Structure 1
């Protein structure tokens, strides 16, 4: 890179950094004023905040926290602090009175320091900072149980540990998702075939993924062997096969629309990701492909039904990444779930 290119990249970074920081101060001030007005409106009710602002799977897995907090605060005003891309996951929950959009962890720190909330249930682990801000988010409750990014998957599933980070008992309930009728009707208009096999092939981290060639091979075998149509969901398509019974909806669905498609599935097959948590929450039978993730070898992110082993096959070649999971293992798991192949 030339000196001019380095200088240009530096100034672009600085522009984004300082623009973000100014926006953070403004956004946190506006939200503080809005929350003060809300507190005046709700009167003697406490303003309670649940905080888990990002990662689709984490938010879905920790849905039972809402029900527990509502049990503890039956008459109070409960909101969930969440990043903008994940609003759908909380906005229709019947036990929430609303949500608050988090700009970044730095803004979260400022709002918590303001004392605007009467009760805080913070599920975040300490020290996950914004790339631009100086504020270091700390969760004393998580620190008190020595919950860190280096050990959290060794301590239990996501709900089990994050509920404790929030100062609640270790929860083990089944997660649920709340799909409004407007979303269900949207999926009806898309003419989704009945009882499809739904696959999800790419996660937010390459270490969780299974090779594209294996997915293509699996889809071709499924199409040749079983009568079920196949739908791929996610952001980016992995399988590019053209077949009357194969349909890619990648990049075409909202989060709740994806969940509704998964709810209708005969079988969900996917890697460890948000849609896998949707399958758990929507009572869909599943096959989940796991593998070594950083230093985590023997881990299970799921609570409830999947943790109890109900309607789920978990595949993990312990000590090996998901990419090395044998194709034959997945094929065998499908046969066990769908029955022996019958040529169509």
Structure 2
């Protein structure tokens, strides 16, 4: 028999819920006043909001939306509404005038209801609620198109679908990442080896992951077969290799520093995750490991170069999760990308 929450757990949740909701209304009021002051300075320039606040890969993949919106509003003051963790993904985009940090989906609903924006391009699917707030975020265009969390990957890649639910044409452009000089210098100061093979092994969702034993075996084979060093990026390390030509930078890089490292790679090997979208946007050749994700069997998240199959090998044992992807497939695809092995 499953036990319910304890008295302490219940009141802890209620405390966090209360403080979050109070903070949401305060944050909404502050941002509303800031946006009102901004609009008073803009004169006749419309305030245009692009709303896609979370999921690293989604934001990277949908970068072309900013360029499309700029074409439609050449004189507009365009901001991207984003969660704090992902600010750097939009902060340096030259087609944007700024960004707004979103506290939670409940706050998003409050700002939309206020009518503060002159034009909104909402890339969110309906009904992804805050765990504390009562507001239910709705995207009428997504609902009209019948796009839900249960079927969106059946309609196409992230950019193709999200641009449509924002009220734009179905976009297919190549995503771009904008790396500031500060991030380039930070990476350069590490004196990393040139032409590394960069790997990313662990995502935010276990269904996307490949076994650690396979990653360790792959790294050992790479180091024994090719002259290239191997660098692991991400938050949590997976590979335990002690070879001096292997380097773990997990948890040591910012988002844009990670993108810069990937951009200098000889090859990127990774699961479906934010860094894979970085590799696509940085024009880095890749081997990408996919697998069944919930009810999505035959799906492709990427637009642009990776969607066209340029410089990438997409591996998917259809009907099986990524964890069951045969090791031999990954090794063979990697060898095809790197060319004839050269013994170290």
Report the TM-score range of the alignment, normalised by the length of the smaller protein: over 0.9
Question: Which residue of the partner structure matches residue 10 of structure 1?
Answer: 10
What are the equivalent positions in structure 2 for 1:1-344 lying under 5 Å apart?
6-344=6-344
Please give the TM-score of this superposition, normalised by the length of structure 2. 0.99
Distance 1:342 1:325 in 2: 26
Give every structure 1 segment of 4 or more consecutive aligned residues whose post-TM-superposition deviation is greater than 4 Å: none
State the Cα deviation string for residues 80-124 of structure 1 (Å, max 9, x = none): 000000000000000000000000000000000000000000000
* Residue 340 of structure 1, CA deviation: 2.2
Distance 2:274 2:90 in 1: 14
Distance 2:299 2:53 in 1: 23
* Residue 10 of structure 1, CA deviation: 0.6
Distance 2:32 2:259 in 1: 33
* Residue 289 of structure 1, CA deviation: 0.1
* Matched pairs, number: 344
Distance 1:235 1:195 in 2: 22
Distance 2:24 2:334 in 1: 48
Distance 2:298 2:76 in 1: 40
SS in 2 for 1:177: coil
Residues 1:107 and 1:329: Cα distance change in structure 2 (over 3 Å): same
State the Cα deviation string for residues 307-340 of structure 1 (Å, max 9, x = none): 0000000000000000000000000001101112
Distance 1:329 1:39 in 2: 55
State the Cα deviation string for residues 219-257 of structure 1 (Å, max 9, x = none): 000010000000000000000111110000000000000
Distance 1:104 1:20 in 2: 9
State the Cα deviation string for residues 131-169 of structure 1 (Å, max 9, x = none): 000000000011111010010000000000000010000
* Residue 4 of structure 1, CA deviation: 11
SS in 1 for 2:268: strand
In structure 2, the gaps of 5 or more residues are none
Residues 1:18 and 1:309: Cα distance change in structure 2 (over 3 Å): same
RMSD: 1.3
Please give the TM-score of this superposition, normalised by the length of structure 1. 0.99
Distance 2:281 2:80 in 1: 19
* Residue 5 of structure 1, CA deviation: 7.5
